[in-house]
Structure 1
């Protein structure tokens, strides 16, 4: 099962000609999840040629303009395809008011259900058959949350040779053992799943953190991420400004990645004060703490394979 992340916009505060505002699309086979929806989101979606008009759920970190101004367009363009499935929108208080007001003022034609759920406490906000998405509190100038998508553990590998040694005939009994069922052979011998199955294998984890003061608690929330998308808005010489505006430096983002043992960390939501030529200073400072730190760019793609 594929799990891929597409950075639709990596900028913060204001869009630039070469940098749209913060948004990330996560594709898990047929499921599409959008994290924040800044100005320019539609442009990147179009340029990537993704089949995105049936997004399953949108997760908003907070209701500052640079994270939600792309949302009305997404809602309207989703009406260009036939869909009966609801679109879920999650976010802190005021997201429901923003969506409803936008629909009324713009007189939107919407041909599908929109279900808005406001977050008031850390919780699991969205669930699927073998995964869940939860939120956790951040500290910004208004209520803000981070998100993680976490897959459930997968069954261990089925040992065909061992099953045959135990006398299990090739066929439907193999499937029952793989589904966790105990079986009885024709001679009365009992074979249990643990006799032929390897240890459970971990699922994958994606984390999205932006617009927050540095908090040591964030590392626990994103622990073991296969990919952590994290705000790294300022360089060290702007640490006081970052604290005043309740943002993070790239070094602080790297500290979270290191302390959470994340496999990869890619920074997002850069201050517009940094041109693309100046962004390497953020990367250099982050890599002093976490050598695997990366910079995101608009329309950058990340593949999250299983760790076998």
Structure 2
């Protein structure tokens, strides 16, 4: 399944069974949820480079979700990858990778950071946030784009005697200035309302839970 979110910065989402690939339009990197046995073929077949994968998130330790992980990591090593890779998963993930490296006599030339999934905020940067809703050994995820700043009302600023200068960019950020006469100049008065970013949910839990429905109800797209 392929989904284009034209009203947001989420360029394309592709879902295959329990695997989800997200490519943000403002980033070159690819975010991968789970890693099935044929994930490399699926990624390359959809005109993406596996070397662009920056984050891998495993919802659980089921074999269908991580059977292609070691092969993907080995392929990245053969490609001469240098940049680090972040992998998020359950607490047993580190032992799983160490045992695979030990018995296959494999080492990677790039740094792999292992993060243990816990309920709450998992990833936060300037472009998006990812939350984990964990139940026992399964995790559901909520991907939320950053809030979009409203358009700056230049005509309103000019009518108030503000000539175009560097002050415009600061007012657009919502900053407040105190003028010499004691008046306050608020940036929110010269901008439109901020727009909420897109919200996408990835649900691995197949059971009905009220908390899931309440949390994920505002999503534009929900993947099961």
Please give the range of the TM-score, normalised by the shorter of the 2 chains. 0.7 to 0.9
Partner of 2:20: 24
- Segments of structure 2 that go 5 or more residues without pairing to the other structure are 1-7
What's 1:175 paired with? 169
Query: Is 1:9 equivalent to 2:16 in the alignment?
Result: yes
- 1:136 and 1:221 in contact (8 A); partners too: no
Aligned-residue RMSD, C-alpha = 2.2
Say if 1:52 and 1:37 are closer, same or farther in 2 by CA, change over 3 A.
same
Partners of 2:12 and 2:104 lie apart in 1 by 31
- Structure 2: how far apart are the matches of 1:81 and 1:158? 45
SS at match of 2:59: coil
- Residue aligning to 1:159: 153
Q: Partners in 2 of 1:45 and 1:71 — Cα distance?
A: 13
Cα offset, 1:124, TM superposition: 1.2
1:123 counterpart = 2:123: no
Please report how far the alpha carbon of residue 67 of structure 1 lies from its aligned counterpart in structure 2 after TM superposition: 0.8
Unpaired segments of 5 or more residues in structure 1? 11-21, 231-308
What is the TM-score of this pair, normalised by structure 1? 0.64
On the 8 A contact 2:40/2:50 being kept in 1, the answer is no
Residue 209 of structure 1 is matched in structure 2 by 203
Q: Give the direction of change, closer, same or farther, for the CA distance of 1:193–1:110 in structure 2 (3 Å limit).
A: same
What is the match of residue 83 of structure 1?
A: 82
SS at 2:163's partner residue?
coil
Given that 2:129 and 2:145 are in contact with CA atoms closer than 8 Å, whether structure 1 keeps it comes out as yes
Alignment correspondent of 2:99 = 101
Residues 1:135 and 2:109 are matched in the alignment = no
Greater fraction of residues in strand: 2
The answer to whether the 8 A contact 2:10-2:22 is kept is yes
For residues 5 and 107 of structure 1, do their structure 2 counterparts lie closer, same or farther at Cα, with a shift above 3 Å needed? farther
Contact in 1 for aligned 2:172/2:188 (Cα 8 Å): no
The normalised TM-score by structure 2 is 0.85
Paired residues of 1:53 and 1:77 also in contact (CA < 8 A):
no
Deviation at 1:216, TM superposition (A): 2.0
